Amino acid sequence: MIAAEREMEPKMSNKATTVLEAHPMNGGDGTYSYTKNSYYQREAANVAQTLIGDVIAMKLDINEFASSSTNAFCIADLGCSVGPNTFVSVENILEAIKHKYRSECMSSQTREFQVFFNDHAGNDFNTLFAKFPPTRNYFAAGVPGSFHGRLFPKSSLHVVHSSYATHWLSKVPEELTDKNSPAWNKGKIHYTTAPEEVVNAYAAQFTKDMAAFLEARAQELVVGGMMILILPAVPTGIPHSRVPNGVMFDFMGSILIDMAKEGVISEAEVDSFNLPVYTTSPKEMGELVERNGRFHIEQMESTSPWLEIKHSNSDYGKTLSMSLRAGMEGVLRSHFGSEITNQLFNRLCDQSGQLTRQLQESCCREGTQLFVALKRI
């Protein structure tokens, strides 16, 4: 192949030059697996199920896709992890679409559906594939790779869904670990109570990542196609220190600092670690979509899954720390190693009563989740 042609070829994601950080959820189905410890993510998704059904019923125009009616109706779940939540979401979306066909007296009977399950290449796809619902009525495929780059051909998807995934950053902003930068995040692992420069560095990275995400999806979705995003959020104007994510990450940070004080790890190890996650606000998200310019906001709504969760359950704190472990263990282990990470989560489990109290006392439980439905224009 001649060099000029190569340059003209479509750029695929995940080339050697664009390797992004990947921190998959815990694989397999053991004690600490995401499969067995994704209760909170499921609760959060449940709150969104009705919204998804409604927005598809009211805003998705299936007539726009009629011209390509011989082709399959294609759906992608981005950041699907290992199940089972992804299967519940996909089933819900499919039912809403089929209901739509019925309500418009169109036949969905001859229409075939293809669902793409995406996550990082390091995700445990073997476990995901082993758990595919045996009675599913769709063709299924796994797509490994970062959703911050292109994953699918142009105009090949009709609906994109992503729940609790787009708050993961593609990388930790470099200045956070640069001692000479005003954004050096000493003694912290997140931005909750950090100086403004740290918050700004996180926000700038999220802006870049969301821009790349929206640009890639704008190319992959057909015109009229819909994208539904569910992600943790901070109500506009509320400080990060008062939302559940802020409280939980701060709590984990304080355990690591205790471990540094006890000499179990060094201060430098804590200083050089930062969680690559960011909690956006409705205002910020709206601005990023506007700036991209290729989507119309059909619905943007704050929801409150934390009001639904049974906080009175005596196992609540423990369930919560197991859930945090399933989601966060990978990123911590790659920095601190297995032994320290085990110790961190054992301490978190022991102190889960205290975490529960902090969440109950200081926490703003309303509007901590954002439901966004966009239409490709």
C-alpha to C-alpha distances, 73 to 101, 144, 188, nearest whole angstrom: 12, 20, 46
Tell the smallest beta-carbon distance from residue 327 to its own copies (Å): 19
- Spatial CB neighbours of 178, under 8 Å, sequence gap ≥ 6: 184
Burial class (CB in 10 A: 0-12, 13-18, 19+), 6: exposed
Tell the smallest beta-carbon distance from residue 184 to its own copies (Å): 33
Do residues 79 and 86 touch, judged by C-beta distance below 8 A? no
What six digits make up the tokens of 8? Answer: 């003209």
Residue 106 interacts with its own copies (CB under 8 A)?
Answer: no
Return the range that interacts with its own copies (CB under 8 A); candidates 36-44, 108-116, 272-280, 349-357. 108-116
Burial class (CB in 10 A: 0-12, 13-18, 19+), 3: exposed
Tell the smallest beta-carbon distance from residue 73 to its own copies (Å): 9
Identify which of residues 6 and 310 has a Cβ nearer to its own copies in the complex: 6
Please list every residue from 69 through 88 that binds its own copies, using CB under 8 A: 70-72
Identify which of residues 109 and 180 has a Cβ nearer to its own copies in the complex: 109
Residue 1 interacts with its own copies (CB under 8 A)?
Answer: yes
What six digits make up the tokens of 346? Answer: 């054992």
Identify which of residues 6 and 179 has a Cβ nearer to its own copies in the complex: 6
Residue 278 interacts with its own copies (CB under 8 A)?
Answer: no
- The candidate with the shortest Cα–Cα distance to 157, out of 97, 209, 115, is 115
Identify which of residues 135 and 314 has a Cβ nearer to its own copies in the complex: 135
Number of residues that bind its own copies (CB under 8 A): 49
Residue 109 interacts with its own copies (CB under 8 A)?
Answer: yes
Burial class (CB in 10 A: 0-12, 13-18, 19+), 8: exposed
- Spatial CB neighbours of 71, under 8 Å, sequence gap ≥ 6: none
Residue 67 interacts with its own copies (CB under 8 A)?
Answer: no
- N-to-C CA span, the chain: 36
Residue 152 interacts with its own copies (CB under 8 A)?
Answer: yes
Please list every residue from 111 through 150 that binds its own copies, using CB under 8 A: 112-114, 116, 121-122, 124-126, 129-130, 132, 134-145, 150
Q: What is the DSSP letter of 81?
A: T
Is the CA virtual torsion 357, 363, 365, 369 positive or negative? Answer: negative
Identify which of residues 73 and 251 has a Cβ nearer to its own copies in the complex: 73
CA–CA dist 64, 226 (Å, integer): 12
Binding pattern to its own copies, positions 332-361, x when CB under 8 A?
Answer: ------------------------------
Residue 262 interacts with its own copies (CB under 8 A)?
Answer: no
Which of 98, 242, 335, 347 contacts its own copies by CB under 8 A?
98
Residue 6 interacts with its own copies (CB under 8 A)?
Answer: yes
C-alpha to C-alpha distances, 139 to 73, 111, 129, 204, 306, nearest whole angstrom: 10, 12, 12, 38, 34
Which of 37, 156, 170, 303 contacts its own copies by CB under 8 A?
156
Tell the smallest beta-carbon distance from residue 82 to its own copies (Å): 11
Pairing of strands 295-303, 369-376: antiparallel
Tell the smallest beta-carbon distance from residue 374 to its own copies (Å): 22
Q: Cα 76 to the chain's mean position, in Å?
A: 14
Binding pattern to its own copies, positions 7-46, x when CB under 8 A?
Answer: -xxx-x-xxx--x---------------------------
Q: Which residues bind its own copies (CB under 8 A)?
A: 1, 5-6, 8-10, 12, 14-16, 19, 70-72, 95, 98, 109-110, 112-114, 116, 121-122, 124-126, 129-130, 132, 134-145, 150-156
